[in-house]
Amino acid sequence: MEDYIYSFSSFLVRSRVSVNLFLSQFEPLALLLALLLTLLVARVLHSLFSVIHDKGLKDTLLGLFMSSFKLIPGGKSYIDAEKQKIVDKWQSGSKSKRDEWRTELPTTGFGEGIIEDMKDAKSKDVDWKGKCSGTVYIGGSESEGHFSLISEACSMFQHTNPLHLDVFQSVGRFEAEVVAMTADLLGSKEKASGGQVRGNMTSGETESILFAVKTSRDYMKMKTGITKPEMVIAESAHSAYDKAAQYFNIKLRSVPVNKEFKADVKAIRQHINRNTIMIVGSAPGFPHGIIDPIEELGKLADSYGICFHVDLCLGGFVLPFARKLGYQIPPFDFTVKGVTSVSIDVHKYGLAPKGTSVVLYRNHEIRKFSNSINL
Ligand SMILES: *Cc1c(COP(=O)(O)O)cnc(C)c1O
Ligand SMILES: *[C@@H]1O[C@H](CO)[C@@H](O)[C@H](O)[C@H]1NC(C)=O
């Protein structure tokens, strides 16, 4: 034993002597500079690798290329000029029209003339029917009857205020019915859902997502005391999550999709930490129309005890019927363990007018955190 200790300490002494000998040939100042330079290089490499980790190699290289291009004399002004050209192109045309826009209340009323005026403006809109995917979700010949029915119903309730449900009991009943019917389509009556699904109508999927994120944040704060919340999403998730993260002070971790353009479950797992409050999945996502692996994501959320929101904005009123028609649709709703909330657009394939969506929570225990009173 002593032999070992002896030879080890003599090894240390010898190494020290040779290191000193090696260093003595340099000026102290040069040594200091070399040390600083090494630290600097390490720092640059560290931030480069974390950027690659967050953005992916391709985007990082593109970013590096763009910033080096800007360093070349004239490079930055070239890019700025190109950008300005595009902005000018967008704005030309609309500028002259805008000169005709009213900017002050007219001194005398328009009377019936206002309708003619509006008809005229409308006639100059793009002819979208059946031509603009993702804009209005019905537009063929079947839309005529549908639109007049919807218009009649809407005009009947145009001048109500759903905040006062004691006055407008009919409106309250209709909201409850839309929520219940939607929940039924999404498994609320199946045993696996727990039979306690609750929800509300909102003005659109963005608001539904904002609600779900805020609710998850406050629910997780109560459940586990997380005060520096983070959420992990796939890059294909809707921009509403970016908004929610900003509004509600949540750190957003956006993970690249896999080769099939689906949420990458393994990569998402790697981004979960003790501050993570939720993950999200889309069925399908807006950019590719591809359904994320909802069951696997549900398992992941369940194993970490965190929330899992499923964005059914596009698929919610399609997938249940596709399944009835015999298509193989993997589970995507409250029958999946781990799903804590979903959102679904009545104003997309629900074929209702813009401004209607539904957010649903697995139970009241979660839903009650959508109210600010519970903060
Ligand atoms: C349309 C859409 C949204 C946002 O919906 P809005 O109703 O426009 O706010 C969110 N997620 C997906 C998947 C969508 O298709
Ligand atoms: C949401 O729904 C609950 C019932 O589930 C209801 O009590 C509440 O008033 C609704 N809130 C809104 C904002 O509609």
pLDDT at 96 over 80: no
Q: What is the pLDDT of residue 295?
A: 98
Q: Is residue 173 part of a domain?
A: yes
Q: What is the pLDDT of residue 157?
A: 95
Rg over CA atoms, the chain? 29
Q: Is residue 105 part of a domain?
A: no
The ligand placed nearest to the CA atom of residue 244 is: 1
pLDDT at 49 over 90: no
Task: Calculate the alpha carbon distances from 268 to 17, 276, 278 in Å.
Answer: 50, 11, 11
> What CATH code is carried by the domain that includes residue 190?
3.40.640.10
Lowest mean pLDDT segment, chosen from 36-45, 84-93, 178-187: 84-93
Q: Is residue 196 part of a domain?
A: yes
Nearest CA to ligand 1 atom 6: 205
DSSP letter for each residue of 311-322: E-TTTTTTHHHH
Q: What is the pLDDT of residue 118?
A: 93
Atom nearest to 198 CA in ligand 2: 5
The ligand placed nearest to the CA atom of residue 239 is: 1
pLDDT at 60 over 90: no
**pLDDT per residue as tens digits for the range 306-348:** 999 999 999 999 999 999 999 999 999 999 999 999 999 999 9
Number of structural domains in the chain: 2
pLDDT at 101 over 90: no
Which pLDDT band holds residue 172 (cuts at 50, 70, 90)? very high
Distance 313 CA to ligand 1 centre (A): 6
Signed CA dihedral, 105, 107, 112, 115: sign only: negative
Q: Is 138 exposed, middle or buried (0-12, 13-18, 19+ CB in 10 A)?
A: middle
| Percent of the chain surpassing pLDDT 90 | 64
pTM tops 0.75, yes or no: yes
Residue after which a domain boundary falls, among 17, 32, 55:
55
Q: What is the pLDDT of residue 202?
A: 96
Distance 241 CA to ligand 1 centre (A): 11
Could you list the residue range(s) of the whole structural domain that residue 292 is in? 169-370
Q: Is residue 96 part of a domain?
A: no
pLDDT at 2 over 80: no
